[in-house]
Structures are given as structure tokens and as C-alpha cells.
Structure 1
Amino acid sequence: KKEKVDFIVLLTQSEPELNIEILEKYPEINAVLAEEKSEKYNFVTYVGEKPIVSPQGNMGSIVKIDIFKNKDGKIKQSLEFLPVDSSVPSDKEMLKLEEFYKEKLDRDLGTVIAKNNVKLDSGFGENHHARYEESNIGNLIADAYKNHFNTEIAFMNGGGIRANIESGDFRLRDAISILPFSNKVGAFKYSGKTIVEALEHGVSSVDKKAGRFLQVAGMEYSYNPKDEVGSRVSNVTVNNKPIELETIYTVALPLYIKNGGDGFQMLKNTVGTVEIDSEKNIDSDIFIDYVKKIKVLNPKLEGRIVVK
């Protein structure tokens, strides 16, 4: 506003209701570019004449916004979704580069690192069930974090799991497709009270399949989605014993949620850090090391999370 711009675009990774609330509160914003709501469809919602735009996920489409300033100074805009698929011709020089790196990546990422006996299923691109219930792939990732940092507990936010993998040879590319963002992971000390608050926050928006839902290792919990938000979680145990609110526990978790991402403000309240010898802290690196170590993947649903 200080620079007297004509058009303000807001980039968000927020829930649709919050985007609407922001547009209503800050009328000087002209458009919102939001995260995808589907891997198959485009979505646009208007607040007055101002759009909240969600293109198709996984780069299935992009949105083009044309902005016009009339002689009277009024701004108008129009938008269209453009598919990103085989109908888009490749630039010839870029295609050569693409083919060179694709061949190299296929060679490097095709390395078999384990045998996978079951489908690793997060529901990604389908029902996204890792965002509201226990998943075998969530268990495997959380186990990897717990093993690497030698903690009592580990968390993995369900929204960070980005693939399903069929049984068979488990290759390097499979691990990276599951955890593609190179997010960092760390280990910290939390009170039992803070851990329960985090679990409550994780189940607070399961009806919207929000990515904050927590897959876990080293603990179990139950929740009832029909109960009031903030009072949904029960039967929390750590190492098969009821959690003690004043006891301090060690927890491995993505730094994204530790630093307050997905609304986990309570996870900023650490009471210490867990130090280990390894300098590795990238999620996919930790996961790959664990997969190589156990050699055979056979994760099961173990009742870590019970939906009432």
C-alpha cells in the first residue's frame, strides 16, 4: 500500500474459510491464490468480484489472471485455468535437457533399497485417509524418525505424506515421492500436557481432512470426531502407559510443525533439545536410511490411533 500499487495478490496455504475471512477483513486485497483442493479439479470462490483460486494439484493446471486498469483508475480482472498436460507442446531445447536429466534420474532413482511386502497406503490423491486415521505408511515414517533420534515418541503430519507405493521392489524414487519436500526433522522435549494439546489440534479439523492430523510412533491415542474441538482425544498412552501431563517426553517431529506450521503453536513450547551424533536431519534421508536398515517393509495398522 505504501508503494501505491494497483493490485494486491495474496498467496496462502490456508483453509478456504480463512481465505474468505481475510478478503472480507482486508478489502484492499484483489485476489487470493490458494493451495490445491483436489488433484483432479480446479476451484474458484468469489467474495464479491474477488476470486480465491485453487488450481489442480500436482501441477495439473495453472491459473492465468488478466488485470485491466480503466481510464477512470478502476481495476478489473478476468481469469482462466490452463491445463498442464500432454497438450502443451515442449520447448525443443528444454525437452533435450529434460530427457537428459530424466534418463539420469531414472538411472539413479531406480536403485532398489528394500523389499516392500504390502501397499504403503496414505490415501494420497484418493480419500487422503492419513489425514484422519492411522495409516501403515504413517507408522513407517514415524518409526523412522523415532529410530533415528532414539526418542520415546515421534510425530508425522499426515498432510506431508505425498504418495502411495504398491508392493514389490522399493526404490529410491519411491522414498522421495513419499517425502518430496526435503523438510527437516528434529527431536525435542515436551511435557505430556503439550503433547496432548498437539494431538487435540491434530484432530480438530478431520472433517476437512486437514494435513495437521498426526501419525505417531511410540504412543497410542483415541479420538471422537463428533466431540467438541479441544475435547476429542482420550486414552493417550506412551510405551503402553497412560501419559502423565507433567512428565517430560522426547519427541521426534518435522520442524515445520515444531515451528508452528499447520497451527501447532503449542509445539513451539519445548523444554529442551535431544542431541544425537548424526548430522542428518532431512526427512527423506532419515526415511531412506531406516528403510535400508530394516530391508523388508511390512508395516501394519497396530491400533496406534483409534477413531471412536
Structure 2
Amino acid sequence: MQVFLSIVLVLLAVGCTTNQVSSPNSLTEQKNPTQQTTNAINQNDVSQKGMDTSSATEQNVDNQNVDSNITENDSRPVEEIHKYGEPQDTNQETQDTNQQPQETDASDDKKDTKILYLTSWEASLLPQTHNRKKLGGLAYLTQAVKKIEESSHVVLCTTGNFFRGDVKDRRPVVKALNIMGLDVCNISNLELNYGSEELKDKLEDAQFTPLCANIYEGNTRLFSSHTIVRKNEKRIAFIGLTSREAAVQSIPQAVENLIFRKPANELQKILAKLKNKADIVVVLSNLRHSDDIEIAKAFPSVNLIIGRHDVDTQNRFVKINNTMIVRSSKKKGVQLGEVNITELSTPQFHDIGPDASKFNRADSESTALIAAWQNMEKIRSEVLCQSKTFLEGEYSQIRQKETNLGNLLADIMLEKRSQADFAIINSGAIRASISIGDVTYGMVLDVLPYQNKVVALKISGKAVKEVLENAVARYESIPGAFLQVGGMSFHFSESKPIFSRVSEIKIQGEPLNLNKEYEMLTLDYIASGGDDYIMLKEIAPHYTSNKGLPDIIADYLRKKDNVYPRLEQRIVKE
């Protein structure tokens, strides 16, 4: 296959089609400053905690001469099987996205296989003004992909920065990319702004595969290093490499626990695993152009490197021996890159959008998603009331102690059903604070993103104590199980043994009676045993609210001019 690809690539220079970019005759003809400089950040593994400069000899790698300053390998062990680590496969070291080749008919066999790519999409759902034209937009990108799919087998990928990087942005990015038909993505600095856990949560519903070979949490990769996609009986391996500049480009707190290893070292390990298992090897790179060139020189088994956004149009296509490096000079979905891998031809670049000459039609499903998002943004802007104080909902605070926001939410639950004796809400359900000033419906949704219903349970005094003991059992780990309460108070000491930490429990100002039955309000999540509240699973709720808690809270706030909840010694740490 290598020999065949080499012959094909030699023939590529013969000609190109309309809107294609000519290949330079040699690397020396394209002397850009970035190609002549060495990126200092690539000299050591980068971590917000420090540098990892350990090395060891990597066995079973491609038989090739590799530049000495990009082949030094880590000695640290790598956890191979992990939910977000290496692909799990009991029969082989790599994972195919489609385990069996697609069945094709005679007409399918005549179709070429094309890789379409975006660089720095940045959640651009709407068209952008570019050179006085409206270009880009989710609806037009989606329709363009569908149009190309009519005559070709297509793999759609992005090199990273598909999120905006604004942690408060609420655009339905993953839903949009699912509709667009994204297959594979690389991770870059804008994604890392969310922090590893929130990023994983955001990608939970992704129908595409996130890749990131050289970013680690401890000894485990943040995401899979590679995947194999089968198209028309071709095995296309995709590998994701992220620039270690992301360690300083991202929000510092978001990446403080991550380690950024040398991209070339990780690539070398992966290529060893992929021997004889892929027909085409594609690297999705967020590295500098000069680094892509060094990768191409060092690893001739890589057929294609799709690089990040680059304003220099000369960098849109470079060929190093048998390795093609392609980029895009336009971002935010204004331009869609295309490489025909059946022939490994030079790339084409398609302008997309309402003012584009060719791909100017909109996809209806994408249009509906955008309309729903815009409508929700209008709904979210409704001002409900004023807050006269900062309402504390920060992770490190609300999971460790009583807060004024927790008190407000629990009290509103009791207001909704006044016959209840007390209310509890797990702090894990509370995801944001509210600043002084206008309180909007959108802020309530940020605080309570889950549409939990409020339920009422009949519970014994003995079970009440078990519930509170569970709330502080794992106090040291800052758990979401920690409770905010209304209509009750208690003391606890983390120095005491687990499940013996709670004391001085009072309900409606009276000491807890272990033999009395109480009516407790909580969320359906807790009532079903969530956060280890297993003592509640067998108790059937006798009341369930019609609305979710966010709307219950919003209804209450609409009736108030302002709110000013205080701390009331409901939860006392001894």
C-alpha cells in the first residue's frame, strides 16, 4: 500500500481542478518564518504543575530516522483502557468507528472518498460578514456536506476550536455538530477552557469521536488518541495532536491538572500500533505549521496532516515527500476544505453561505435548531426580580456549607407546598451563582440546569438522620450530596466517624423525634437514590410537582420586587 500511495502521489503534480491550490515544487521554495523557527514550547512536556522531561526508548516503532529533538519518549506508564482514554477493543489495539465495512452497491463503488474539514469553527451558528459577503452558518455548512455526500463517501472532521471558549456561552454546539454530521474532532485550547470534567459533560451526547493523543490527566489520556473510520472499504486512521501552547492559551485554572506531552512522541507510539491496520493515516493537528512540517519529515507513514487555521494562504497546501499538509485560511465555517483521498489529490476550498456562488442553500433541520436557540435566548432574557445581595452557588462553597442561595431555593420549595415539614436539595443540582442586580430567567436556568421535579415523601425521624449523615459522609471530597435545607437545622463534625457526624437536628425549631413521621420535600433525583441516598429508594412519593424546579423558582421570583436571603445557622460545622 505504501508503494501504491507513493506512485499515486507522484502523479498528483500533473494537474489540478478549479479552485485548487498548486503545490510548491519543494520545501525550499516556501520559506516562511514559521518554518525556520523552532517552537520552544515543544522541548519539554508542559504541565501547569511543572515540566516532565523523563525519557525512555520506545520499542516497536516505525523503521525510520526521526529527528533527535522530537523523538525523546516518556518513561511514564500509560493507562490503555479508560472511558475517555484509549479505545477499548478486546481483539485489537485500535478501535474502528464502524466495526464492519459498509455494504456498498455498484454505484457506491464508483464514488470517491473525501475528507471534509473545518478549522476554528468557534460555534459560528450564523453566517459571518466576510469581504462584504455573508458566508458560513450551520445551515449552509450542513447542506454543503449533504450535497457532497450525494456523489462521494464523506468523512467530516475539525482540527479543534469548535467551541467558542466562553464558559458562559449556551449555544447548542454538540447538537449542531451532530446535525452537521461531524465524524471526528481534535481538542484545542478553546475546548480546554471548560476544564476536563465540564468538557466531557458537554461531549456526552456527541455522535462524533473527540481525539487528543498528547494531553493527559495523570497517566491517562484526556480523550482517545486515535480512531479508525471505514469508508468504502478503506480504513482511515485519525490521530489528534494538540499544541502544547494550549497550556498557556487556555484559562489557567481549567488546565492546571493536565499534562501536555510532546506530540511527536505520542504520534510515534500510536503509529506503531497502527501498522498494517490502516490504509490511510490522517493527523488532525493543532500545531504550528513548522511543527507539522517536522512531523511530515519524521513520519513518512502519515499520509495527510490537516492543520489548524492559518491566515497565510501559502500554507494551505504543502507536500513533504509523500505527506500532504493542508490548512484553511478562513475560519468560523466560512470555508470548507476538501481532500479526495481516493486519489490523494490537492485540496479544494469551498466558500459556504447565503452569498456563496455554489453552496448557498440552507438545511431545514439546522435552521430549526438555530430558531429554537434564538427563541430560548429571548426567553432567558426576561427579568424576574432584583437581588440585593450576591447569591452564592459556587462549587467550593455550596458543597461545603450553608449558603444564601441554597436557603432561598429550599424556602421556595416549602412555599410551593406549605404542608411539608422541611425541604432538602442536593448541592450538586446547583451549578452557578447570581450577582447583585437583575435576576433573569436565564440565570435561574444556569443555577438549575436540570429539570428536576419536586417530590414529597413521608419519612421517619430515624431516616431523616440517615439522610443527613449521608450528606456529610464524604464531606472531605466536596460532594454534590451535601445538602442545602429549609425548615430544619443541624450540626456536624468531620472529625467524627462516618455516619456518626450529625447532631442537634431540629425540624421547624423542634428537636428531631426519631419515631415521628415527617413530610420531606426533595428532588426526584434524590428520591430515586441519587448521590447514594439509597434509604429513600423504597419510599414512594405521594406528591410530584407539575413543573420542574427552575420554573417553580422563576414563578416565585416573578412575584417579588427583590430578594435578600441571609445565612441563618441552618448548617453548623463544629
Asked if Structure 1 and Structure 2 have the same fold, meaning a TM-score greater than 0.5 normalized by the shorter chain, the answer is: yes
Higher Cα Rg: structure 1 or 2?
2
Deviations 1:85-134, CA, capped at 9 Å, x for gaps: 9x88458669977765554333222111111111111113xxx2111100
The residue correspondences of 1:276-295 to structure 2 (distance < 5 A) are 280-295=546-561
Q: In the alignment, residue 112 of structure 1 is paired with which amino acid?
A: V
Shift of 1:148: 1.0
CA distance in 2 between counterparts of 1:80 and 1:145 reads: 48
In 2: Cα distance, 1:258 partner to 1:80 partner = 44
Equivalent positions of 1:35-184 (< 5 A) are 41-42=195-196, 54=197, 56=199, 59=202, 63-64=210-211, 65=224, 66-67=226-227, 89-90=332-333, 100-124=371-395, 128-150=396-418, 151-184=420-453
User: In structure 2, the residue corresponding to 1:113 is in which secondary structure?
Assistant: strand
Structure 2: gaps of 5 or more residues: 1-79, 86-191, 212-223, 229-237, 252-308, 310-330, 335-352, 354-361
- Alpha-carbon distance, 1:239 to partner: 0.8
Give 1:290 deviation, angstroms: 1.9
Percent same amino acid among aligned pairs?
26
Letter in 2 for 1:165: I
Contact 2:393-2:447 within 8 A present in 1 as well: no
Q: Which residue of 2 aligns with 1:14?
A: none
Equivalent residues of 1:136, 1:299 under 8 A apart: yes
Over residues 39-79 of structure 1, what are the superposed CA-to-partner deviations in whole Å (9 max), with x where a residue is unaligned? Answer: 8543xxxxxxxxxxx564664999422257xxxxxxxx988
Give the number of the structure with larger relative contact order, counting CA–CA contacts within 8 Å between residues 6 or more apart.
Answer: 1
Q: Secondary structure at 2:513's aligned position in 1?
A: coil
Write the distance in 2 (CA, Å) between the matches of 1:273 and 1:130: 26
Residue type of the alignment partner of 1:268 = K
Q: Which amino acid counterpart does residue 383 of structure 2 have in structure 1? A: V
Letter in 2 for 1:31: H
Q: Say if 2:399 and 2:482, in contact at 8 Å, map to a contact too.
A: yes
- Which amino acid in structure 2 is aligned with residue 117 of structure 1? K
Aligned to 2:562: 296
**Contact 1:186 1:281 (C-alpha < 8 Å) held by counterparts:** no
SS of the counterpart of 2:389? coil
Q: CA, structure 1 residues 192+79, in 2 after alignment: closer, same or farther (shift >3 Å)?
A: farther
Farther off after superposition, 236-245 or 287-296: 287-296
Map of 2:496 onto structure 1 = 227
Change (3 A) 1:291 1:90: farther
SS of 1:119's equivalent in the other structure is: coil
Answer yes or no: is the 8 Å Cα contact 1:223–1:232 preserved in 2.
yes
Distance change in 2, residues 1:303/1:232 (3 Å): same
Q: 1:99/1:217 Cα in 2 relative to 1: closer, same or farther (>3 Å)? A: same
Is the alpha carbon distance of 1:116 and 1:232 closer, same or farther for their aligned partners in structure 2, counting shifts above 3 Å? same
Evaluate the alpha carbon distance shift between residue 55 and residue 182 of structure 1 in structure 2; reply closer, same or farther with a 3 A threshold. closer
Q: What is the aligned counterpart of 2:81 among 10, 27, 30?
A: 30
Secondary structure of 2:504's counterpart equals strand
- The structure-2 alpha-carbon separation of the partners of 1:113 and 1:202, relative to structure 1 and needing over 3 Å to count, comes to same
Alignment gaps of 5+ in structure 1: 1-28, 43-53, 69-76
**Aligned-residue CA RMSD in angstroms?**
3.5
**Distance 1:172-1:260 versus aligned 2 partners, 3 A rule:** same
Q: Is the 8 A contact 1:132 1:213 kept in 2?
A: yes
Structure 2 SS opposite 1:115: strand
Distance in 2, matches of 1:251 and 1:118, equals: 28
Given that 2:394 and 2:431 are in contact with CA atoms closer than 8 Å, whether structure 1 keeps it comes out as no
Q: Distance in 2 between matches of 1:112 and 1:177?
A: 14
- Residues 39 and 58 in structure 1, CA contact (< 8 A), matched pair in contact too: no
CA–CA separation in structure 1 for the residues paired with 2:537 and 2:368: 43
Change in 2 beyond 3 A, CA 1:57/1:144? farther
Q: How much does 1:199 deviate? A: 0.5
C-alpha displacement at 1:246, in angstroms? Answer: 0.8
Q: Could you say what secondary structure the match of 1:246 adopts? A: coil
Task: State the Cα distance separating 1:253 from its structure 2 match.
Answer: 0.3
Distance 1:59 1:227, change over 3 A: same
Distance 1:260 1:79, change over 3 A: farther
Cα distance, 1:103–1:200 mapped onto 2, change above 3 Å: same
